[in-house]
Chains A and B, each alone.
Chain A
Amino acid sequence: MSVSSFAGPFVPELVLLAGTLLIFLLDVLKVRRIELTGGIAVAATLAALGVVVADLGFAPLAFLATVPASQIDVAPAAGAAPLFAFTSFGLVFQAIFLLATFFVALASVSRPSDERGAPIFYGLLLLATIGMLLVAIASDLIFLLLAIEVVSIASYLLVAYTRKDVRGLEAAMKFFVIGALSTVLSFFGASLLFGAYGTTNLYLIRAAGTAVGYPVLVLLGYGFLIAGLAFKVTLVPFHAWAVDVYDGAPDDVSAFLAGGTKKIGVFAFFLVFLGPVLAVGAVGSSGYGLFGGSVALGASFQITLGALAVVTMTVGNVLALLQKEMKRMLAYSSISQAGYMLIGIAIGTAPALGGATLQVFAHVLMKTGAFLVVGAAAAIGVGPLIDDWRGLGLKRPLLGVSFALMLLSLAGVPLTIGFVSKFVLFSAAVDAQGWFIWLAVAGLLNSALSVFYYARVLKVMFFDAAPAPAGAPAGSVVGGAGPPALPLGGIGYGRAASLAIIAALIVAFGIYPQAVLGAIQSAAYHFVTVGA
């Protein structure tokens, strides 16, 4: 296969790459207005999104399609080791990733227009997005890990892009150290698997199943892989970086990290532990454990991932309970949400995969939106503590209502997408029967626990009296020189539009989830069928 022969299906990636290069070119030409660079990024993202959606087979966009339907969800020929494959499941994820990028890119247009970091921000954003799109089509472990690294490297630099913010740089440093460690872990795992299977192709690895000479090597390799990927998904105890990074990073970047890049880890989990984790029920004949004994490899992974899921959501929620800072609270909540998604992976049935994917989709809307609201609030001079938000809900209805919707959705309140996704996910857990019902119970109890801190924020925003107006006028926080106040009372059109769209989608899909669930579920079915 030569490079030119697969250029066609990569139109979304190429569009984004073109956008990136254009932005860098303009930067070199000292054209740095954020409206322009941001506009390019938004346009590129939208175009890519259109193509992906068309590839998925939505009739109105069919003229945009670049991957023929005959190439989607096709199982590889026996022995073939393709590095990437187009699955409808991957395309769904591509769409989700592009959506996250779109929201962030749109909202970021509302930053001060003379900001010098704009080109690098948007360039890295688009590069990271390319990496994300590539993750979603990977079918090879090394391809997958390298694609993740594209995202990682871009993310480290995105967190640091302000250059002058100590908190941002500290966050970037921590992000980098833990990220690099995790990269090493992942690749080490991949190397062990390569040693055991002789290949890094996921189809071949799955096909080999447990029929391999070095079972301990395999288990160790997967252990390393789980640990490495868990960094991206922020599973406990691989999560500690996330809180500091989400806290220290610029708000829009936090939104992108929590809402966007985190999900590539989830997809990687799907990919690596498909079905779940090699083949369900493949029973090894001899000593997998250190103490020997015949075990089902798949079931062992399921128990491990299940335990990881429960620990993650519980610790995340408990930690969020008494958090005083808004961004850190959201970070912990994001960690606990990752636990929910992992439930779907631990179960590994098509319904569970679909449920977890819906949860991913919901989380993109909710968490991206939430961090964007935080950014908007910071832009109008609201402090970092939850208590600084007193009375904001009534004073700024757009922020108040959209944030309330996002929090309610995170809490799983009915008629929001968050409720539907949890419902479907936990239904799938119960549907799988066996001990998986306990995952549903744990998840539900955790969602009960989570309601507290969301409710507290709502209380502060709507019930508590607003603090006395500070001396500084709104909008004076950004840039000491006092840039011209943005429209909409400092929030800006881009952010407002982004928030409004997110809020509308949260409710719209909450009321009529079939609009996305149908596509997601059938994609999940194909994914499981083709992968097996």
Chain B
Amino acid sequence: MSLEELAFLALALVAIGTATAALLVRELVHTILWIAIFFVDLSAIYFLLSAPFLGVLQLGVYAGAVTILLLFGIMTTRKRIFSREAVTGIGPVPVALAVVTFIFLASALGELPQSTTAVQSYDPTALSQNLFGPNGPWLLLLGLIMLAGVAGAIYLVREGRE
């Protein structure tokens, strides 16, 4: 097993662990901590995959902006930030559904090439040319989504005077 593979294994285990922990801890603020680690961990995986631009983006948007947004959400909806969630039982059905989903996805593992190959890396310039060139419409669409989202979200959270 090569070093890269070992690194991936470790990062993957951390990702799974932090994601699980984020959902299972009973204090929401701890959740935010775990999820932040999760985002950072994924960023590391992107670097491992030779996608540095995405790694940086992940750090900036997810580990930064989204995490803070979530924290903000918690703070505005709670009177006390460090309060525990009520314990909710976890029924067998959701777990089973999640596990079976995983099993179905895992059934595709067998047909993928098993051998290790070199990861293809891309020049960030090529990426930007692709993003703003032929695949430009995706960004335009993202712009429309953001326009709608921002306009609506601002309207919603703004205290009405009526």
Contacts and interface: CB of A to CB of B under 8 A. Distances in A.
Q: Note whether A and B contact each other (Cβ less than 8 A).
A: yes
Contact of A142 (B112, B138, B144, B145): B138
Nearest to B160: A163
Given A143-B137, A157-B148, A116 B111 contact: no
Contact of A128 (B110, B134, B148, B162): B148
A153 B160 contact: no
B146 to A, nearest CB: 9
B107 A120 contact: no
Given A116-B160, A214-B111, A220-B105, A153 B142 contact: no
A83 interface: yes
Contacts of A315: none
Interface stretch (A39-47, A101-109, A144-152, A422-430): A144-152
A149 B151 contact: no
Interface in A110-166: 116-117, 120, 123-124, 127-128, 130-131, 134, 142-143, 146-147, 149-150, 153-154, 156-158, 160-161, 163-164
B124 interface: no
B147 interface: yes
Contact of B144 (A81, A150, A213, A216): A150
A78 interface: no
Interface in B94-136: 104-105, 107-108, 110-112, 133-136
Q: In which size bucket is the chain B interface? A: 20 to 34
A124 B151 contact: yes
Given A157-B148, A217-B111, A163 B141 contact: no
Contact of B111 (A3, A83, A153, A215): A215
Given A24-B151, A120-B155, A154-B148, A83 B112 contact: no
Contact of B112 (A81, A120, A156, A214): A214
Contacts of B137: 83-84, 143
Contact of A147 (B104, B111, B141): B141
Contact of A150 (B105, B108, B134, B148): B148
Nearest to A219: B108
B152 A120 contact: yes
A290 B105 CA distance: 12
Given A217-B111, A220-B108, A83 B138 contact: yes
A157 B108 contact: no
A2 B136 CA distance: 8
A225 B107 CA distance: 18
B70 interface: no
Contacts of A217: 108, 111-112
Nearest to A188: B105
A146 B147 contact: no
A81 B133 CA distance: 13
A220 B107 CA distance: 9
Contacts of A84: 137
Interface string A191-213: 01000000000000000000001
A127 B147 CA distance: 9
A124 B138 contact: no
Contacts of A24: 151
A143 B104 contact: no
A213 B114 CA distance: 13
A124 B141 contact: no
A1 interface: yes
Nearest to B157: A163
B156 A163 contact: yes
B24 interface: no
A143 B135 CA distance: 9
B140 A3 contact: yes
Contacts of B138: 83, 142-143, 146
A84 B153 CA distance: 29
A12 to B, nearest CB: 14
A1 B134 contact: yes
A161 B142 CA distance: 22
A1 B129 CA distance: 12
A216 to B, nearest CB: 4
A83 B135 contact: yes
Nearest to A119: B155
Nearest to B146: A153
B59 to A, nearest CB: 21
A147 B144 CA distance: 9
Contacts of A134: 141
A154 B156 contact: no
A116 B156 CA distance: 12
A143 B141 contact: yes
Interface string B3-43: 00000000000000000000000000000000000000000
A223 B149 CA distance: 28
A220 B147 CA distance: 33
Given A1-B134, A83-B135, A215-B111, A124 B148 contact: yes
Contact of A123 (B111, B151, B160, B162): B151
B150 to A, nearest CB: 10
Contact of A161 (B105, B110, B152): B152
Contacts of B112: 214, 217
A164 B162 CA distance: 10
Contacts of B140: 3
Nearest to B105: A220
A81 B142 CA distance: 20
Nearest to A195: B112
B154 to A, nearest CB: 9
Contact of B145 (A3, A117, A150): A150
9 contacts: A1-B136, A83-B134, A123-B151, A128-B148, A150-B141, A160-B152, A164-B162, A216-B110, A217-B108
Given A143-B137, A157-B149, A163-B156, 10 more contacts: A1-B134, A1-B136, A24-B151, A116-B162, A143-B141, A160-B152, A161-B155, A214-B108, A216-B108, A220-B108
CB-based closest 9 A-B pairs: A157-B152, A146-B141, A154-B148, A216-B108, A127-B148, A120-B155, A217-B108, A150-B144, A153-B149
